[in-house]
Amino acid sequence: MQPTAVARYHPRDMNKALVLTLLLATSAFTFAQTATSKEVDAVYPAAHELYLDIHQSPELSSHETQTASKLAERLRGLGYEVTEHVGGTGIVAILKNGNGPTVMLRTELDALPVEEKTGLPYASKVHATDDAGHDVPVAHACGHDLHMAAILGTATIMAQSKNSWHGTLMLIGQPAEETVVGARAMMADGLYTRFPKPDYALALHVTNELPAGIIGIVPGILTTAADSLRVTIYGKGGHGAAPHTAIDPIVIAARTIVTLQTIVSREVKPGEMAVVTVGYIRAGTKNNIIPNEAEFGLTVRTYNPQVRKQVLAAIDRIVKAEAMAGGVTREPLIEHYESTDSVYNDPALAERLRPALEAALGKQNVETTAPITFSEDFGYFVGAGTASLFMRLGGADPAKLAEAQKTGVTLPSNHSSYFAPDVEPSLRGAIEAEVAVLRDLLNGKPSGLTQR
């Protein structure tokens, strides 16, 4: 399957008379596809070059200094007004083009502490020191390099076709998505006060679950809210042979963990999505010593904000009550150390933009897909007055994906050492989709009706 083959076709030597004839003879729908593809052809080499460069020089969350400056420099060269160091290493690039709405398009900047094992000639060999002082391999295993390359291609087309839209285009490079702190840091640094507050916020993310170049739309809730919690139970240490002189935090922790499993099964309404997972438990040093403390860590995933509140309150209640039942003299410590809201796609906006995407990519290349259980901090950009659409972008080689579906052996997911999107069709699809939705929202003429 070649999902974007139709959308990409264009005769390079098409002269103006022929363009005019075609324009008159065919529907705007057909013309829009061809013209956008031609525009993508023109910007593709520079976008691909940036992809290869950034792929081979990945940087960890909150340390994306070189990455940010590479993107900033290119956007500045296109005529965007670029501000660096927003919320740490974040960048904001503004292109004003008369009256009209403000539309924000976001890319992430960060890579992951993952060793790339794709075997690709441009595989990352980078190592860096993480925040804990450890030497770690670094790779763009989530595909944020592809998002940056796409935004460069999109930025170029938009800057060169200012007669196809009007309003304010706001491109942002967000740091630290993987640690879910970057979006909040940019907001706290005045993203919507120092710069225009967008009417619309857009983003996309590459996935191996869809064929390369396909756009997946999820109307409504897209990702889960995620909460990371650390619980410390304070007991009273002693000799393993004299439990009556101690308060055993291991037994209390074990009981607590079992009771926590009843939140989803007994308290949350059936059909509502909620996950409560205890991912680790740590206590003790030796078989005949009762330790002073026990610690365990949880991840909580929910879609519905009310359910999220309910689950977190239940965890708090159960942890405290089980500790009290165990006779502790000090209340347990419950730390919420990482959290992010779910990402919500405005269903009306998704439906409004679907025709523009279908016109640009071909109807068969735009799918409605199910929500995903991953989490994302893009939700912090969305709120009163800012509607959003976060698209899924297919990144899988169609033949490999078809084989995976046949054998049941799934392709490497984002964050895997082996994650490697099929670059050209994914990158082209991303640029086509971004330009299509931007032109639609920026009250432009149909995609492609530019001066080219």
Spatial distance between the Cα atoms of 250 and 30, rounded to a whole number of angstroms: 67
Spatial distance between the Cα atoms of 376 and 179, rounded to a whole number of angstroms: 9
Name the nearest CA neighbour of 67 among 138, 116, 169. 138
CB of 142 to Zn ion, least distance (A): 3
CB of 112 to Zn ion, least distance (A): 6
**Part in contact with Zn ion (CB under 5 A); list of ranges 136-144, 228-236, 360-368, 421-429:** 136-144
**What would the two tokens of residue 226 be?**
């995620």
Is 68 an interacting residue with respect to Zn ion (CB under 5 A)?
no
When the beta carbons of 157 and 180 are compared against Zn ion, the nearer one is 180
CB of 76 to Zn ion, least distance (A): 25
- Tell me the site size for Zn ion, rule CB under 5 A: 1
Name the nearest CA neighbour of 370 among 183, 217, 241. 217
Q: What residues form DSSP beta bridges with 217? A: 368
Kindly provide the residue ranges of all beta strands, DSSP E only, lying in 235-374, ordered along the sequence. 238-239, 274-283, 289-290, 293-302, 333-340, 344-345, 366-368
Name the nearest CA neighbour of 172 among 139, 146, 156, 195. 195
Tell me the torsion sign for CA atoms 155, 159, 160, 166.
positive
When the beta carbons of 71 and 257 are compared against Zn ion, the nearer one is 71
Footprint of Zn ion on residues 286-305 (CB under 5 A)?
none
CB of 268 to Zn ion, least distance (A): 27
CB of 177 to Zn ion, least distance (A): 6
When the beta carbons of 179 and 386 are compared against Zn ion, the nearer one is 179
**Part in contact with Zn ion (CB under 5 A); list of ranges 18-26, 142-150, 190-198, 381-389:** 142-150
**Part in contact with Zn ion (CB under 5 A); list of ranges 59-67, 139-147, 211-219, 378-386:** 139-147
Which of 47, 105, 138, 142 is the binder for Zn ion (CB under 5 A)? 142
Q: Does residue 298 sit in helix, strand or coil?
A: strand
CB of 162 to Zn ion, least distance (A): 31
Decide: 114 and 415 in contact? Cβ < 8 Å: yes
When the beta carbons of 72 and 141 are compared against Zn ion, the nearer one is 141
CB of 58 to Zn ion, least distance (A): 12
When the beta carbons of 226 and 438 are compared against Zn ion, the nearer one is 226
To which residue do tokens 């239940």 refer? Answer: 314
CB of 178 to Zn ion, least distance (A): 5
**Part in contact with Zn ion (CB under 5 A); list of ranges 19-27, 140-148, 245-253, 291-299:** 140-148
CB of 259 to Zn ion, least distance (A): 32
DSSP string, 367-403: EE----S---SGGGG-BTTBEEEEEEEEEE-HHHHHH
**Part in contact with Zn ion (CB under 5 A); list of ranges 27-35, 137-145, 196-204, 275-283:** 137-145
CB of 143 to Zn ion, least distance (A): 6
How does strand 167-174 pair with strand 102-108?
parallel
In three state form, how does the secondary structure of 98-162 look? CCCCEEEEEEECCEECCCCCCCCCCCCCCEEECCCCCEEECECCCCHHHHHHHHHHHHHHHHHCH
* Amino acid occupying residue 285: T
**Part in contact with Zn ion (CB under 5 A); list of ranges 129-137, 138-146, 207-215, 225-233:** 138-146
When the beta carbons of 104 and 142 are compared against Zn ion, the nearer one is 142
When the beta carbons of 226 and 307 are compared against Zn ion, the nearer one is 226
**What would the two tokens of residue 324 be?**
């009290």
To which residue do tokens 């995933």 refer? Answer: 301
Q: How far is CA 141 from CA 119, 121, 137, 414, in A?
A: 13, 15, 11, 6
When the beta carbons of 148 and 253 are compared against Zn ion, the nearer one is 148
When the beta carbons of 144 and 308 are compared against Zn ion, the nearer one is 144
Footprint of Zn ion on residues 373-402 (CB under 5 A)?
none
When the beta carbons of 31 and 344 are compared against Zn ion, the nearer one is 344
Residue nearest to Zn ion (CB): 142
Given the rule CB under 5 A, which residues bind Zn ion? Answer: 142
